[in-house]
Amino acid sequence: MLDFTNTAMVYLMTIALVCGISGAIAASFIKTTYLRNQRSNFKGGGKRRRAAAAGVLCASLLLPLLFVPNAQIVRADSSLGNVAANIGPIAVAVNPVTNKIYVANYNSANVTVIDGTNNSTATVAAGSNTGAVAVNPVTNKIYVTNRTSANVTVIDGTNNSTNTVAAGTSPGDVAVNPATNKIYVANQSSNNVTVIDGTNNSTNTVATGSGPIAVAVNLITNKIYVANQGNVNVTVITPATTAAIPLNTAITPAANNTTNPTPTFSLTATSTYAPNAPPPQNIYFQIDTINGAFTKAVEQSRTATTLTANASPTPLQPGLHIIYFFATDGSDATSINPNRPQKESFGKDGFDSFAPESSPIIGGINAYLFLVAPAAATAATVSVSGRVMTSDGRGIRNVVIRLTDSQGNLRTAISNSFGYYRFNDVEAGATYILTATGKRFSFSQPSQVLNVNDETDEVNFIANPIKRFGM
């Protein structure tokens, strides 16, 4: 795109000036020749040529604007920036958590990685004829389809290292489900979808219609939708359900699945084992990964078969996150698993005692996807002030001024010896009611409605004249 903000304006002003002069010449010529037409039999060939030349000049000055590729006149208050990529950039994806941007370059077999903080770039090698790119913001993995080499390049966003995963023929579009850590690749020429398990890059294949060209994921239902160009239809893929575990944990969803940076989640575990169903003992959770140690949730309440606990992770960055959680039905060695008989026996090493074989039963590991919203900007505060005085300008002290906001919150101030009062730290952008009350004075306008946007220092109250006896 060509940015010629200042140059274009000067150029257009020049055109306007030239065309204006040309138009004046042409108008003058037409008027003169019309008046003299009867006497001179319109002998004005030279003037006609000069007027025509002026019109051609004006048109020639405008022509360059019609043939500048991708030209755009930019307003002075606009800001456009260009970041160099490689040959044939065809797709782009953003990781909002890391502020990194990934551009798939079709003709140069690589990916341009842009640092959103300063627009610096790095280049990561990919396969032949990259087609699409998708990001898992939870695992910080990036998936790039390579149409000609029939595979997917997996980029580790932490260090830009790569792995290659085989796909079908002509892999085109790609979509990620960060909640399940599954990646779906539409293989246009082999009429199927490659499903990649993000935990270990293992794959399986799901048949589709003819020419699958696009794929999308519903993060709530976990269903996958594949557009089949050849069949003019859509394949709907529903992930296979696993056998239900009698020890399951549920989470209370956040409003709109959105939290602040320090959320607390309520988790409830339920045991439905039969015939013996000991109560769940503990619930554990972890954020954004299932590797490493899980954190024990804080117990809130329990019944014979349920346990409720709160999970409070450390402060989180804005963006998408996943909480993984599960319950156990015992602690240490208390479980529904049978114990080995406690008896003594004589072995080759002498007498020993058989220890219990018991260990806690682990419930199903569940996941919940949520969004941490950026912290709300603190509203600007201003001051509101004024004066209480008589009609002749003398200040009145000890008058109570009440400032009430739209929520009914009340603040008070008292006028000083010169009648001045002041409220500090008043939130801007709100509407307030100011009311003046005095013991010895009344006011014709005791209340005023004020829309506060900036510093306000002229909210004055004028007292009515005091009526004296005999007057």
Place of tokens 């004020």: 450
Helix (H, G, I), strand (E, B) or coil at 270: strand
pLDDT at 23: 54
Total of domains in the chain: 4
Question: In whole angstroms, what is the distance from residue 112 CA to residue 105 CA?
Answer: 7
Measuring CA to CA, how many Å separate 194 from each of 137, 206, 236, 287, 426?
Answer: 20, 7, 14, 27, 58
Average pLDDT (404-410) is 91
Type of residue found at 181: N
The set of residues, in sequence order, having a beta carbon less than 8 Å from that of 409 and lying 6+ positions away, is: none
Same domain, 298 and 214: no
Which ranges of 178-252 does DSSP label H, i.e. alpha helix? Answer: none
Question: In whole angstroms, what is the distance from residue 187 CA to residue 215 CA?
Answer: 10
Place of tokens 């306000």: 456
Question: In whole angstroms, what is the distance from residue 373 CA to residue 256 CA?
Answer: 11
Do 329 and 360 touch, CB atoms closer than 8 A? yes
Q: In terms of pLDDT, which residue wins out, 394 or 76?
A: 394
* 179: DSSP letter: T
Question: Given a cut of 80, is residue 290 above it in pLDDT?
Answer: no
Q: In terms of pLDDT, which residue wins out, 359 or 83?
A: 83
Same domain, 25 and 110: no
Residue 242 counted as domain residue: no
Same domain, 299 and 423: no
Question: In whole angstroms, what is the distance from residue 131 CA to residue 146 CA?
Answer: 6
What CATH number did the domain enclosing 299 receive? 2.60.40
Residue 303 counted as domain residue: yes
Same domain, 104 and 181: yes
What CATH number did the domain enclosing 213 receive? 2.130.10.10
Same domain, 348 and 385: no
Task: Band the pLDDT of 84: cuts 50, 70, 90.
Answer: confident
Question: Given a cut of 90, is residue 36 above it in pLDDT?
Answer: no
Question: Given a cut of 90, is residue 289 above it in pLDDT?
Answer: no
**Residue 268 phi/psi, 5° resolution?**
-125, 120
pLDDT at 293: 82
Task: Band the pLDDT of 348: cuts 50, 70, 90.
Answer: very low
Residue 258 counted as domain residue: yes
Same domain, 286 and 410: no
What CATH number did the domain enclosing 438 receive? 2.60.40.10
Residue that is last in its domain, among 72, 104, 121 = 72
Residue that is last in its domain, among 37, 72, 107 = 72
Same domain, 228 and 103: yes
Residue 147 counted as domain residue: yes
Same domain, 207 and 294: no
Residues facing 206 on adjacent strands: 193
- Cα atoms in the Cβ-side hemisphere of radius 13 Å centred on 187: 23
Average pLDDT (443-458) is 90
Residue 80 counted as domain residue: no
3-state helix, strand, coil in the chain (%, to 5): 15, 40, 45
Residue 82 counted as domain residue: no
H/E stretch holding 141 reads: strand 141-146
Task: Band the pLDDT of 330: cuts 50, 70, 90.
Answer: low
How high does pLDDT run on average in the chain? 80
Cβ count within 10 A of residue 224? 23
Residue that is last in its domain, among 72, 102, 119 = 72
Closest CA to 234 of 199, 265, 268, 210: 210
Same domain, 233 and 97: yes
pLDDT at 71: 39
pLDDT in tens, 368-403: 999 998 876 667 899 999 999 998 999 999 999 999
Angle at CA of residue 451, ends 450 and 453, nearest 5°? 130
Residue 137 counted as domain residue: yes
Same domain, 252 and 341: yes
Weakest mean pLDDT among 141-145, 187-191, 275-279, 422-426? 275-279
Place of tokens 């009440």: 402
- Domain holding 313, by residue range, is 247-372
- Provide the percentage of residues in the chain whose pLDDT is more than 70: 73
pLDDT at 221: 78
pLDDT at 180: 81
Please confirm whether the linkage preceding 465 is cis (ω < 30° from 0).
no
Residue 467 counted as domain residue: no
Task: Band the pLDDT of 8: cuts 50, 70, 90.
Answer: very low
pLDDT at 313: 94
pLDDT at 97: 78
Measuring CA to CA, how many Å separate 228 from each of 118, 125, 358?
Answer: 40, 30, 52
pLDDT in tens, 200-232: 999 999 999 999 999 999 877 789 999 999 999
Same domain, 226 and 111: yes
pLDDT at 331: 45
Question: Given a cut of 50, is residue 34 above it in pLDDT?
Answer: no
pLDDT at 355: 45
H/E stretch holding 412 reads: strand 410-414
Question: Given a cut of 80, is residue 5 above it in pLDDT?
Answer: no
Closest CA to 271 of 300, 245, 241: 245
Do 466 and 434 touch, CB atoms closer than 8 A? no
Do 318 and 373 touch, CB atoms closer than 8 A? yes
Same domain, 251 and 354: yes
